[in-house]
Amino acid sequence: MLKKIALEKLGDLVSALMEKGPLYAPVKGEKAVDFQEITNPADVILDFYNTAMSPKFAFFPQSEDLIRYRLGKEATESEAVSLDAKPSVILGVRPCDAKSFEIMDRHFLGAGIIDPYWNDKREKTTIIGYAFDPSTAADPADFYNTLGISASDTAGSDIFMIRTDKHLLFKGITEKGDRLLKELSVLEAGSKTDEKTFEDKAKKGGEVKTRFMEIQDKAVAGKLVQVFNNKEFWEKATAACISCGACTFVCPTCYCFDISDETLFRDGVRKRFWDACMFTDFTLEASGHNPRPRIFQRYRQKVCHKYSYHVDKYGCISCVGCGRCTRSCPVNIDIYSIIESASKL
Amino acid sequence: MTAMKKIEENLRKEAKRLLEGGEVSVVLAYGRGYDENHPMPFAARTVEDVDSLVFNEYCTFNLARYLPKYPPKTKIAVAVKAADSRAVVQLIQEEKVRREDLVILGIPVTGMKDQKTGEVIDNKTTCNMANPVLYDILLGDEIHGFKGGSPYDVLAELEGMDHDARMAFWKKEFEKCIRCFACRKACPMCYCDPCFMDASRPRWADKSPTPDGHLMYHLTRFYHLAGRCIDCGECSRACPVDIPLYLFHKKLAKECEDMFQQAAGMKIEDKPAMVNYGNQDSDEMLK
Ligand code: SF4
Ligand code: SF4
Ligand code: SF4
Ligand code: SF4
């Protein structure tokens, strides 16, 4: 199904989406653009490259309450926080990020245990993907082509949006997407010409070139096992790393979390919240022993998890080449360059 | 000002000489990153490594940050711009590095650029000095007559706010914080191991990113840096969500200067303002 709306009517579309439930869309902050829950339709912008933070927060918020409890003298009362995600929409997800949701699904849904928190929000959310503008060069940090993703890839989106000079075109990709398109009466039906325009524009997306190297999931996974013990290589590659958590927190495919009980007087909450393998205390054991005391060991874990262990366990690389880790690294460590040099060893 | 290319050439020449002669075992400077505008901190250990050294307007990193991790007696050459040299001086005062272990390669320079925005870095986010305060070798000519404005100009707006407005301002800024800790990790003066934020007994702040925990983290960090922050701006540049940390650091630095007539990291002979007691010290805060 193909629908369209005139560019200047974006506000009407946003209002219509907001009536259906929470809407997350790109908003310009002081410097960066990020997804926010929209309260004022005029805040939504479509002129941006990509958001600083990834949209993973919509299904995997940085902090999430699991259990509320009250400590008693004899017994503790507790109650699981109920799952009550509202049907929502994320508008303007770039193709690499849309793809990241499918990768995260393998872990949160496909590993034998279903994560109810991820599942609840994921099921009720409709994703409107948004092609990168083919007339803008890819950011030098990006390498989504390497992971087989194009600037107009529809994989992972329920609806895919392409902007033309005067219109926004919407194509239903999944049943869920088609359903939403049908319900939105502000949209006009697309004509045969519009369909042709959509196809042409989508094809143009294939011409956007990011950094690219030929990689094969299994081969790179094996290669990293082989260079695991090459201490010199890892030390050199990560010499500048300051071991912060920026690269993993901005990453759409990093899913590590910690759980802790936070109690104030007698009332407390058990929550889960993002954690990062780059933090010194990530692997710190109660005995005081830390199996990964060195920075190179922690960075190696990050790379090997994404490009090796994840391939063995879930059958794909856990990286979409969105370039965020490189862009937000305070010292410009670049995972692409590291994979490239490891492959040549 | 000496051209950046010339500074790069001098950097390579001195690095080569120092490594070849065995005067130092490592030269901490800048190397190639994934493109021209994104160089990286780089530790050259061999004469071959020297070819990878670079210097351009995007070499903003404060390399003093890496010094405390080397075991004492390691002979290190370190490339420093003005603010970075103040960090080295401060670390020497705090006995985290030894003067005799260092060969300081000073870089007089202005007009460095922010890698994210391409904008010139000035007195808004840094001390904006042009010449290193301490060096053994200069890699370019000293700069004379550079007027960059006071590093405290940027505080006017914040100082004009009343208490409630300031609190509201910071709460709103901290709301953005993702607790990635890039700010403390990039800071040359944040070398505590473990940082109070990583201690689990007692736990000083919520481990999850709560607003109260943010206040606890940032306010404590700000105060731990009082009289020690040398205004390099690295923390604010490192922050992936652009929180203007420099505002608080500058405010504390200004108060310290007013009270103790001493700016951080200016002279080796100074003692850190917060650990030194003098009869003449201001008792303003006790009144
Ligand atoms: S790679 Fe960069 S962002 Fe990641 S931990 Fe190291 S310094 Fe921080
Ligand atoms: S590892 Fe880096 S490039 Fe890959 S998905 Fe994560 S942030 Fe994007
Ligand atoms: S607090 Fe910020 S400006 Fe001050 S020394 Fe540390 S990194 Fe530099
Ligand atoms: S770098 Fe920014 S986001 Fe990260 S902990 Fe510091 S203030 Fe928070």
pLDDT tens figures, B27-49: 999 999 999 999 999 999 999 99
- Length of chain A, in residues: 345
What residues in B contact A30, CB-CB < 8 Å? 242
Question: Based on the domain organization, do B109 and B173 belong to the same domain?
Answer: no
Question: Based on the domain organization, do A144 and A224 belong to the same domain?
Answer: no
Range of the domain at A43: 2-65+79-206
Query: How many domains, chain B?
Result: 2
Q: Please report, as a single letter, which amino acid is at residue B56.
A: N
Ranges of residues in chain A whose predicted pLDDT is under 70: none
Name the pLDDT band for B277 (thresholds 50, 70, 90): confident
Looking at residue B199, what is its pLDDT? 87
Question: Based on the domain organization, do B15 and B130 belong to the same domain?
Answer: yes
Contacts of residue A21, Cβ cutoff 8 Å, sequence gap at least 6: A86, A87, A88, A89
Which ligand has the shortest distance to the CA of B205? Answer: 4
* Each residue's pLDDT tens digit, B144-182: 999 989 999 999 999 999 999 999 999 999 999 999 999
Looking at residue B262, what is its pLDDT? 93
Mutant choice from B49, B67, B178, B193 vs A, greatest count of A C-beta within 10 A: B178
Does A143 contact B at CB distance below 8 Å?
no
Using alpha carbons, list the distances in angstroms from residue B149 to A290, B124, B160.
48, 9, 19
What residues in B contact A258, CB-CB < 8 Å? 207
Which ligand has the shortest distance to the CA of A247? Answer: 1
Question: Based on the domain organization, do B182 and B109 belong to the same domain?
Answer: no
Task: Report d(CA A35, CA A90) in Å as an integer.
Answer: 8
Does the beta carbon of A321 sit less than 6 angstroms from any atom of ligand 2?
yes
Does the beta carbon of B177 sit less than 6 angstroms from any atom of ligand 4?
yes
Q: Considering only CA atoms, which residue is closest to atom 5 of ligand 2?
A: A319
Which ligand has the shortest distance to the CA of B61? Answer: 3
Looking at residue A31, what is its pLDDT? 84
Is pLDDT above 90 for B281? Answer: no
Residues β-bridged to residue A4? A169, A188
- Option in B39, B61, B241 nearest A52 (CB): B241
Contacts of residue A30, Cβ cutoff 8 Å, sequence gap at least 6: B242
Per the omega criterion (within 30 degrees of 0), is the bond before B194 cis?
A: yes
Is pLDDT above 80 for B286? Answer: no
B255 Cα distance to chain centroid: 19
B137-138: strand order across its sheet = B40-44, B26-31, B76-80, B102-106, B137-138
Residues in contact with ligand 3 (CB, 6 Å cut-off):
B 186-189, 225, 229-235, 249
Residue B144 lies in a domain: no
Contacts with B, A 224-283, CB within 8 Å:
239-240, 242-246, 249-250, 258, 260, 262, 271, 273-274, 276, 279-281
Residue A70 lies in a domain: no
Angle ∠(A304,A305,A309) on CA atoms, nearest 5: 90
Is pLDDT above 80 for B284? Answer: no
- Residue finishing a domain among A206, A232, A251: A206
DSSP per residue over chain B, as a string? ---HHHHHHHHHHHHHHHHHTTS-SEEEEEE--SSTT--EEEEE-STGGGGGB---TT----GGGGGGGSPTT--EEEEE-HHHHHHHHHHHHTTSS-GGGEEEEE------B-TTT-PBP-TTTS---SS-SS-SEESSPPP-S-----TTGGGHHHHTS-HHHHHHHHHHHHHT-----HHHHH-TT---SS-GGG--SS--S-SS--HHHHHHHHHHHHHHTTTT-----HHHHH-TT---THHHHHHHHHHHHHHHS--TTS-TT---TTT---TTS--GGG-
Chain A: residue nearest B33 by CA? A332
Question: Based on the domain organization, do B204 and B177 belong to the same domain?
Answer: yes
- Residue finishing a domain among B112, B138, B164: B138
Residue A211 lies in a domain: no
Question: Based on the domain organization, do B87 and B124 belong to the same domain?
Answer: yes
Question: Based on the domain organization, do B71 and B122 belong to the same domain?
Answer: yes
Contacts of residue A233, Cβ cutoff 8 Å, sequence gap at least 6: A227, A341, A342, A345
Is pLDDT above 80 for B285? Answer: no
Mutant choice from B207, B210, B221 vs A, greatest count of A C-beta within 10 A: B207
Looking at residue B200, what is its pLDDT? 81
Is pLDDT above 90 for B216? Answer: yes
Looking at residue B202, what is its pLDDT? 85
- Residue finishing a domain among A206, A236, A258: A206
Using alpha carbons, list the distances in angstroms from residue A162 to A139, A157, A206, A209, A337.
19, 12, 13, 18, 31
Question: Based on the domain organization, do A221 and A202 belong to the same domain?
Answer: no
N-to-C CA span, chain A: 48
Prediction ipTM score? 0.95
Question: Based on the domain organization, do A26 and A135 belong to the same domain?
Answer: yes
Question: Based on the domain organization, do A236 and A187 belong to the same domain?
Answer: no
Q: Do B115 and A332 touch (CB under 8 A)?
A: yes
Name the pLDDT band for B13 (thresholds 50, 70, 90): very high
Looking at residue B170, what is its pLDDT? 95
Structure-token pair, residue A172: 């239903």
Looking at residue A147, what is its pLDDT? 98
Rg for chain A (alpha carbons), in Å? 22
Does the beta carbon of B27 sit less than 6 angstroms from any atom of ligand 4?
no
Looking at residue A58, what is its pLDDT? 96
Structure-token pair, residue A85: 């995600």
Angle of helix A95-108 relative to helix A116-123, nearest 10 degrees, comes to: 140
Looking at residue A30, what is its pLDDT? 84
* Each residue's pLDDT tens digit, A124-166: 999 999 999 999 999 999 999 999 999 999 999 999 999 999 9
Range of the domain at B28: 3-138
Contacts of residue A9, Cβ cutoff 8 Å, sequence gap at least 6: A186
Looking at residue A167, what is its pLDDT? 96
Looking at residue B203, what is its pLDDT? 86
Q: Do A244 and B180 touch (CB under 8 A)?
A: yes
Residue B287 lies in a domain: no
Is pLDDT above 80 for B8? Answer: yes
The pTM (predicted TM-score) of the whole model is 0.95
Task: Report d(CA A236, CA B49) in Å as an integer.
Answer: 11
Question: Based on the domain organization, do B130 and B167 belong to the same domain?
Answer: no
Name the pLDDT band for B278 (thresholds 50, 70, 90): confident
* Each residue's pLDDT tens digit, A271-300: 999 999 999 999 999 999 999 999 999 999
Is pLDDT above 90 for B80? Answer: yes
A92: left (phi over 0), alpha (psi -120 to 50) or beta: left
Of ligand 3's listed atoms, the one at least distance from the Cα of B231 is 3
Question: Based on the domain organization, do A149 and A95 belong to the same domain?
Answer: yes
- Per-residue exposure over B120-130, b if at least 16 CB sit within 10 Å of its own CB, e if not: ebbbbbbbbbb
Task: Report d(CA B216, CA A261) in Å as an integer.
Answer: 18
In this prediction, residues B252-276 reach a mean pLDDT of: 93
Residue % of chain B over a pLDDT of 70: 99
Looking at residue A107, what is its pLDDT? 95
- Residue finishing a domain among A206, A239, A267: A206
Please give the distance, rounded to the nearest whole angstrom, from the Cα atom of residue A244 to the centre of ligand 1.
5
Looking at residue A27, what is its pLDDT? 98
